[in-house]
Structure 1
Amino acid sequence: MSKALSVLIVLSLTAGCLNDNPTEIGDVIFTIENEEIVRGEVIVFTTNRSDYPSGSSFLWTFGDGSGAGGTTAEHVYSTEGIFEVSLTVIASNGATGQYAKEIEVLYPNLPPVASSYIVNEAGYIQLGRVNTQFFFYGNDSSDPEGSPLNYSWNFGDGLSGTGMYTNHTYVAAGNYTINLTVTDERNISSSTLSWAIVKNYEYNITFQEVESNITLTHPPNRLLEGETNTTIWLGHSNLTSVRIILEWNDDIQTLEDLQNLGFSQAAIDAIASIFGIFFPDTFELSINASEINDVSDFSEQSNGEYIEGYYENMSSIPNDVGAYQFETSSGVWTWLENNFPSNETGHNNWTIDVTCIHASPDDVLGFFFDPDDGNNFTLSVIYTYYIAISTEVSIV
């Protein structure tokens, strides 16, 4: 009796260990190690759960009619498109679990090609002055697949810009390395390096003597005998010489009377010459230099139709100062304003007196019958002074 019962118990226990209804394996999952799934590249699929039932089998299908086994599988797609990848896990007891997801297989993406072109506002390629605009062109960049590009510029001075076209101003001279990075819609990028040379403005500063003249008074400025004409002339800065010239003419002014009397032209010329010799006009030129530094007074009388007061070596022309660099084109003028070697000798009011000491008759008949009514004169100044010449040194 007891032996039969014992056998029955064993049979019952054995029957209870058999699973006629296998359970489902939950939380089946896999990952793709590649950042992008690209046609022609090896794609790695992995399920890395550690708690699958012991002895489980793994079946992969890749949606293109092919499959593989194992916890890790590799596959190469030969076409682009949308594919469903599934992983089925089968336990030794027949329990199963599955996970599936759609993937997009992309065409192979070649990196874009970056290309830059740089020109200064003055038209120089990769060369320009400080504080002027440089223009940057990235329009020759391209993408093999025709993808639109994003443009990122690094100007090499700590500043950056974006866009196919941009501009930038360098505030200091130097050699700058410019980096252009172009990125396509799949975030693949490439870069190209270029450079720009930025120079200061450079000027050669020299000094040069120039001559100028001015007529202060001219006919019909007429002086009667004994009269004086006073003229004020403001002298120029940096004078090197001054010539004050008084001129008049002793010729008899009206000879129509002799012509009316039938005198020949030869006779009229002879008479005019005689009157000019024996009855010359006499003028005096006086220069009052009391308001002018380092200039002496001048006074002279003459009946020779010409008097000149000449002042020379009033100041020396400065030595050339050579080349200077500036950050702006106006910097040279600022420098000259602050450093120009100015000389004020002669830079003040010149008081010039012209006096008719004696005047001969105006015409032949007037000599016998009428008093003289004076003579015309011309007063002029020829002067030299030095100036600064700034010549920009070519950038190339």
Structure 2
Amino acid sequence: MALHFRLPLRRPPAPARSRPRGLRANALRAALALALLAAGVAVWLWATPSGARLRYLAADTLITTQHRHWAKYVIGEAALRERLAEYERRFDAMARESLRPVVPERPAGGSGTGADKAAEPLYRIEDVSGEGWSGKLLIVPDPLSIRIGVPSAIGRGEKVSRMMQRLGAVAGVNGGGFSDPNWSGNGFKPTGIVMSGGEVFYNDADPEDEIDVVGFTDRGALIVGQYTLSELQRMGVREAVSFRPRLIVNGKGLVESDEDGWGLAPRTAVAQTEDGTVLFAVIDGRQTHSVGATLYDVQQLFLDRGAVVAANLDGGASTVLVTRDAEAGYRIVNQPATTEGERYLPTAFLVFPQPQLVRIANVWEGLDMERFDPSKW
């Protein structure tokens, strides 16, 4: 008789009980690695020269935004106060060097700079870029074609595109500074001085106080630096706003390096070459296509183009370049760092085919601006 043996069926192996423990171990190792990485980054940021440079670049970038107070979390509150004071001292020092206008003499009160300039287009635009930034260069051959535009209505600023349409300009960029409480101001109250057509439209300083000035004389020379009202009048300054700092004086760059460049931000600046040609740099920032430029970046851009004098203008969300095109009409050429496209501003540099015929009214005449609240719309 044959004997049959039935082998017992093998059950499938039970799931390994160690898996949860393995996941926890992996998570622990990952957390430890991240902690070590964070500790290493912290040591690098706070204990090495290269780390310190990055922290101060981040702090300088925050200083140019509406979140300036966040910079204290990067470098400390005491260091932030010292940083701001240091920039004020540095900008004041940059304003003291004597400026020697080297622009060729032109007839006072003229509407152009001669046949050689008259034959050129009123303006042209070039794309410019550098490490981490891109923007536009507005090139204006005739400095006498530039006027300062101001708003037409009391109580608020005006978009550059609207100023251009109203006054008949063909190109324009944002101008000088203005009172902007909590970065939500109405753009109507300038800071410093505003001159247009040789008239003083606005001045919040005493007549003999030195004011930061960016402007053009009646002969087309770009004047930048600190001057009293009487000095401006003696020099024949006709178009002017206030902002700082100087970037180039007598062909020499004043910003020594990126570390002194006031962070990464949208920038607007103006320069002039030895033959009188005016350059407006309009650099995008705070966006994926262009993080922003330092003042050193802008200075070097101008020096590469042969600029002999240059100054910074209002930037950030104010930075805008508008042109009039025969087909497209008025359009914003750059990409401003604001969802609204343009801010309401008190001043703009505008280019005209016949600047001597343009009539610009003084919107601040007779107003008591000491009683005006720039935070209310």
TM-score by length of 2: 0.20
- Which has the larger strand fraction? 1
- Which has the larger helix fraction? 2
TM-score by length of 1: 0.19
Larger RCO (alpha carbons 8 Å, 6+ apart) = 2
Larger Rg computed on CA atoms? 1
